[in-house]
Amino acid sequence: MKTLLYSVLILSVVALAGCFGQGDDGTAADSTSAVTAEETAEKTDGEAQEEKPKKPKKEKSIKVNVGEVAQGNLVLPVFADGAIRTPKSLLIKTKVGGELLSVLVRDGDHVRKGQVLARIDPREYEIALEESRYRHLQALSQMAAEADTFTVNHAAMEEFTTGRDKLESLYKRGGLTREEYQNRLLELEMDSLNKGAFREAVFQQRTGLAEARMAEERARLNLEYTDIRAPFSGIIQGLTMVAGEIVSTGTSVCTIFNNDHLEAVINVLEADLGNLSEGRPVLLSVPATGETLEAKIDVISPTLDIATRTCEVIIRFDNPEGKYRPGMFVRTRIAGWIYPDKLMVPKAALLTRDNRTLVFKKDDDRAKWLYVDTGLMNDDWVEILAVHSGGSLAPGDEVIVSDHLTLAHEAKIKVRKRIPAVSRWDFADLGEGAIAEGAAQ
């Protein structure tokens, strides 16, 4: 009986549970079903979000440098090396001998023109001058004693001067040979002497006055030579003498250099010589100082060195600060061939892709490639002969000169720096003659 009661109770509980587990439509509505519905709703919202369109990425600008297209003279330089020298250097030697009393300078001293460098004992030369003066006075005394027998024919002297001038004029015109001129001049002199034209000169010679005068002048000159002076302003080098040394005539004292004005002597190859001329502009580089001077050709040697097949070319320049010294190595660029009115782009703008030459032109904020044909070129510029595709080039246009190796057509760019269109030869007047020669080639 109890068993039956328990069975009825269990069935009632199960029936009651089934009533609570059904929804309005009679389906199951347990907790698991509720969670699955929530997840489905969340998943549907996510898919809806993914299907919304994304914002496009902002295009990044590439920073570049640009240069300007130019129209003008394209210069093909001639390269040559050489060295600096001074045209004003001199080995100073003694002109008289004797004991060296003093040396007043040292190596490296700057001296002015006429400054005394050293002194030789002058006493012997002072005595020689006094002796020559006494002989001079003696000759004057003898001449005074014989003055009453001395007469001068001034008319004869004038006649001689006129005749001599006519002979010289006839000789210069080719009317007389040299031998005929000398013979007729001798006859004229003898005739004039007989007429009294040279009485004064003969009188001075007979009394010894003429010889005494020359001896006195020579002695005075030798005395002056005991002071060894600088012939020009400059710097002393190679001085080895000391006071007390006995020197003879022609002994080397020192060398004096003046570096205010220097010369660069370069050797130009024979093949590069044909179009060069004096006055042509030159860029003179001195590696020792890292500087480049603007100069011109002053001299072109009329001969060539047979062994090296080069010609010596001289370029003169000032050295006011004394930075450049004889012996320094130099490199030069000479304006050799000059071609006028060429359309040019900076050499740095040129690229080669697929064996074709191109440049990138700046078009607003975009880089556009232009395939081009090129002609002449130097270290800075390239001649543009034609533009094949992508547009055109004209003076004043800007082309990209940096960061363009991986640049693409229509790439967005931003200018970092503008490189001005400057020619190395702007300092010089190239001249129409030079342009005509270059163009003819």
Q: Residues 6 or more apart from 59 whose CB is under 8 A from it?
A: 412
- The angle, 0 to 180 degrees and rounded to 10, between the axes of the packed helices 209-224 and 199-207 is 70
Q: What is the mean pLDDT of residues 67-85?
A: 94
Q: Give CA–CA dist 432/18, Å, rounded.
A: 117
Closest by CA to 316, choosing from 88, 112, 113, 75, is 88
Among 401, 390, 389, which residue's Cα sits nearest to residue 68?
401
Q: Tell me how far the alpha carbon of residue 262 is from its chain's centroid.
A: 12
Token pair, residue 378, equals 């130097």
Model pLDDT for residues 247-305, shown as the tens digit of each residue: 999 999 999 999 999 999 999 999 998 889 999 999 999 999 999 999 999 999 999 99
The structural domains of the chain, ordered by start, are 64-75+339-440 (2.40.420.20), 77-88+260-338 (2.40.30.170), 90-117+230-257 (2.40.50.100)
Whether the pTM exceeds 0.85: the reply is no
Among 119-123, 200-204, 214-218, the range of highest mean pLDDT: 119-123
Among 8-12, 150-154, 364-368, the least confident range: 8-12
* Residues contacting residue 116 through CB under 8 Å, at least 6 positions apart: 104, 227, 228, 229
CB of 361 closer than 8 Å to CB of 370: yes
Token pair for 135? 């002989």
pLDDT at 399: 95
Residue 35, phi then psi, degrees to nearest 5: -65, -40
Q: pLDDT digits over 18-38, tens only?
A: 444 444 444 434 444 444 445
312 or 425: whose pLDDT is higher? 312
Considering the chain, what percentage of its residues have pLDDT values greater than 70? 78
Q: Enter the tokens of residue 155.
A: 């008319």
C-beta of residue 219 within 8 angstroms of C-beta of residue 131: yes
Angle at 162 between CA 156 and CA 164, to 5 degrees: 100
Per-residue pLDDT tens for 316-336?
A: 999 999 899 999 999 999 999
**Rounded mean pLDDT, 89-103:** 95
